[in-house]
């Protein structure tokens, strides 16, 4: 699509600023360990929950020493992370919390269902972690090897929280050394929902780890001034750019490490909170918070009536007892929406904090089986969160936006006026037939205002279509076609638009297989281009001869002409402003480009 306009706007070049709330979230794992430090390991009660589910995607479940193991459905667990043993600053274990004997039944049942078993090693002190990663690294790695080699565990999960920025490289080296010492083990590491301290180099950690377990919870709690969701899918910030929800956090991971989809596990909560509140509505001021397991919260929602918060896409309840009380949590419906985002994006899977928190209730297990008990079919869209979408360039120039996207989110960056692209993105596709030809469309979410050139790369041929994003907000725009995919098919867009300081938005591209093309092979004629001039003329060029038609949105032909091989045609644009399609047909196929005429 080409845009011609007589409107001239002068912009001052500069960075695009985002309005992002900063949330430094506390460690839920640390709070739980401190709360249950004096609790003895539960006696094991065995309940026959055997099944034969086959999982497609990782279900990574933490099993704390303080919960009842009775109702675990082991066929729905890929990785059982027994939690935990505490490591001191010297690199030795200071508290085993009953490992391995107290977990022996659970570990045996997990293995009987072909699950991987790991032992979680914890430390929550910045200074102790520094000692472990530096002075006492050799002792710590030896201790970890003993934990694995002297038990039935298949590997280790490192849960070091409050790591400082200065230890970022030490942490990477530590995980690399564990991989060297335990080459066949399953190695994972707990990572923060947002790395505000810049201590976790996700891409480098992923090279030595089988999984990065992103702790995507604790968006609300005893520290909150208002009652609210523990893990909102979207919303609950001051703007769509706030770091206040799961969608933003996943985008942030993709911005900082666009190559780790197959290593990223999104940990989700099986717990929530109840507050005394100032009123009955959402966003009410809160006091006196209690952290509760899912089974308690779901039972209370059954009693008081479950409500649904459209902003966060999570459930809650309220009741009056000498004052208002509100409970916020995740249930099978809200977790299912989060599972959908994980599977849509092609991430490795989901994590559970924590197994046993649902007690004897079965609905969360049922949701896991429904979402991960079958393969995920490929759709016709490559979204900005997917593994087929690739961000390039400095992560500081990419900004997540969690409203109005095709799947809740999109990215934006600022335009530059000259030179090669600094930031650019590429959409690849899971095509059902790599020998077919496809038509392409790009979705333009709101807030974009730049003239963006989309380069369609098919085989050795590259076509380009310019889209004025301000003119097509919240619309799908044709990128033409059909394009032959036998030599590959991709769409590329960058930040060099010729004008600096504008906002470029990146979301989804979809494809449809071209069928019923007459008179040719269905392949786009090579070199068919349309360009615009400031005087509202359009120039159509082609290296092959053919017939050109200009059609308005009602299907009426408003102009047409034929061109010889290597020829061109100047369309004067003497029609009302609006959207038009320039179609080109030749002996090798048919193509169309959408143009917008502004006067």
Nearest 5°: phi and psi at 167? Answer: -100, 10
Which residues have CB under 8 Å from 340's CB, separation 6+?
A: 371
pLDDT given for residue 546 in this prediction: 82
Question: How remote is the C-alpha of 577 from its chain's centroid?
Answer: 39
CA distance 351 to 558: 58
Please provide the CATH number assigned to the domain covering 524-599: 2.60.40.3080
Per-residue pLDDT in tens (0 to 9) along the chain, 599 residues:
333 332 222 222 334 444 444 344 567 777 777 777 665 554 444 445 556 778 889 999 999 999 988 899 999 999 999 999 999 999 999 999 999 999 999 999 999 999 999 999 999 999 999 999 999 999 999 999 999 999 999 999 999 999 999 999 999 999 999 999 999 999 999 999 999 999 999 999 999 999 999 999 989 999 999 999 999 999 999 999 999 999 999 999 999 999 999 999 999 999 999 999 999 999 999 999 999 999 999 999 999 999 999 999 999 999 999 999 999 999 999 999 999 999 999 999 999 999 999 999 999 999 999 999 887 777 789 999 999 999 999 999 999 999 988 889 999 999 999 999 999 999 999 999 999 999 999 999 999 999 999 999 999 999 999 999 999 999 999 999 889 999 999 999 999 999 999 999 999 999 988 764 333 333 334 456 776 654 456 677 777 778 888 875 445 678 888 888 877 788 777 776 555 667 777 765 556 666 666 54
The region that residue 498 occupies, defined by phi over 0 for left and psi between -120 and 50 for alpha, beta otherwise, is left
Q: Is the model's pTM score more than 0.85?
A: no
Per DSSP, the three-state class of 18 is coil
pLDDT given for residue 514 in this prediction: 76
CA distance 376 to 387: 14
CA distance 162 to 196: 10
Per DSSP, the three-state class of 209 is coil
CA distance 296 to 112: 30
Which residues have CB under 8 Å from 232's CB, separation 6+?
A: 219, 244, 245, 246, 311, 312, 313, 314
How deeply is 422 buried, as exposed, middle or buried, from its count of CB atoms within 10 A (0-12, 13-18, 19+)?
middle
pLDDT given for residue 87 in this prediction: 98
Helix (H) or strand (E) holding 206: helix 202-208
What six digits make up the tokens of 90? 């010297």
Which residues have CB under 8 Å from 587's CB, separation 6+?
A: 519, 520, 544, 546
Is the torsion defined by CA of 93, 97, 102, 104 positive or negative? negative
Which residues have CB under 8 Å from 443's CB, separation 6+?
A: 406, 475, 476, 477, 507, 508, 509, 510
CA distance 11 to 248: 29
Token pair 């942030």 is found at 252
Token pair 């600096």 is found at 500
CA distance 28 to 46: 28
pLDDT given for residue 142 in this prediction: 98
Q: What is the DSSP letter of 226?
A: B
Measured CA distances, 79 to 50, 104, 114, 140, 167 (Å) = 16, 15, 9, 23, 28
């Amino acid at each position: 699509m080409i845009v011609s306009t007589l409107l001239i706007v002068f912009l001052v070049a500069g960075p695009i600023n985002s309005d992002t709330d900063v949330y430094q979230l506390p460690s839920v794992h640390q709070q739980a360990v401190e709360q249950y430090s004096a609790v003895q390991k539960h006696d094991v009660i065995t309940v026959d929950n055997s099944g034969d589910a086959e999982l497609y995607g990782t279900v990574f479940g933490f099993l704390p020493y303080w919960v009842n193991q009775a109702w675990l459905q082991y066929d729905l667990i890929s990785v059982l992370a027994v939690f935990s043993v505490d490591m001191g600053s010297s690199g030795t274990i200071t508290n085993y919390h009953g490992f391995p004997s107290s977990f022996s039944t659970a570990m045996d049942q997990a293995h009987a269902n072909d699950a991987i078993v790991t032992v979680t090693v914890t430390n929550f002190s910045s200074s102790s972690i520094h000692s472990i990663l530096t002075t006492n690294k050799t002792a710590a790695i030896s201790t970890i090897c003993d934990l694995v080699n002297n038990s039935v565990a298949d590997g280790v999960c490192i849960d070091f929280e409050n790591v400082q920025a200065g230890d970022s490289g030490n942490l990477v080296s530590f995980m690399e050394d564990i991989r060297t010492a335990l080459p066949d083990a399953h190695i994972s590491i707990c990572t923060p929902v947002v790395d505000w301290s810049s201590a976790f180099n996700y891409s480098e950690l992923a090279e030595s780890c089988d999984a990065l377990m992103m702790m995507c919870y604790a968006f609300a709690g005893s520290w909150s001034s208002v009652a609210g969701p523990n893990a909102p899918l979207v919303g609950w910030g001051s703007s769509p750019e706030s770091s206040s929800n799961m969608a933003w956090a996943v985008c942030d991971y993709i911005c900082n490490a666009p190559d780790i989809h197959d290593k990223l596990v999104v940990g989700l909560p099986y717990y929530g909170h109840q507050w005394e509140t100032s009123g009955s509505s959402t966003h009410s001021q809160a006091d006196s918070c209690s952290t509760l397991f899912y089974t308690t919260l779901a039972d209370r929602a059954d009693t008081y009536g479950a409500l649904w918060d459209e902003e966060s896409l999570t459930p809650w309840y309220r009741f009056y007892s000498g004052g208002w009380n509100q409970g916020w949590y995740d249930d099978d419906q809200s977790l299912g929406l989060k599972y959908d985002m994980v599977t849509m994006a092609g991430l490795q899977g989901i994590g559970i904090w924590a197994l046993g928190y649902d007690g004897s209730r079965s609905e969360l297990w049922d949701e896991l089986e429904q979402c991960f008990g079958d393969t995920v079919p490929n759709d016709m869209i490559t979204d900005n969160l997917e593994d087929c979408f690739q961000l390039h360039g400095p992560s500081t120039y990419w900004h997540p936006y969690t409203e109005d996207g095709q799947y809740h989110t999109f990215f934006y960056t600022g335009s530059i006026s000259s030179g090669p692209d600094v930031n650019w993105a590429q959409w690849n596709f899971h095509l059902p037939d790599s020998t077919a030809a496809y038509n392409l469309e790009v979705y333009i979410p709101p807030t974009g205002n730049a003239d963006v050139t989309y380069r369609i790369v098919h085989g050795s041929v590259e076509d380009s279509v310019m889209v004025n994003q301000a003119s097509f907000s919240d619309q799908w725009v044709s990128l033409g076609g059909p394009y032959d995919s036998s030599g590959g098919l991709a769409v590329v867009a960058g930040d060099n638009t010729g004008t600096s300081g504008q906002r470029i938005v990146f979301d989804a591209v979809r494809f449809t297989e071209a069928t019923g093309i007459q008179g040719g092979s269905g392949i786009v004629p090579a070199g068919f281009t349309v360009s615009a001039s400031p005087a509202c003329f359009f120039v159509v060029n082609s290296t092959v001869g053919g017939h050109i038609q200009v059609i308005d949105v009602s299907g009426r032909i408003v102009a047409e002409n034929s061109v010889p091989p290597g020829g061109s045609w100047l369309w004067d644009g003497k029609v009302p402003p609006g959207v038009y399609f320039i179609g080109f047909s030749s002996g090798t196929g048919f193509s169309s480009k959408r143009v917008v005429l502004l006067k």
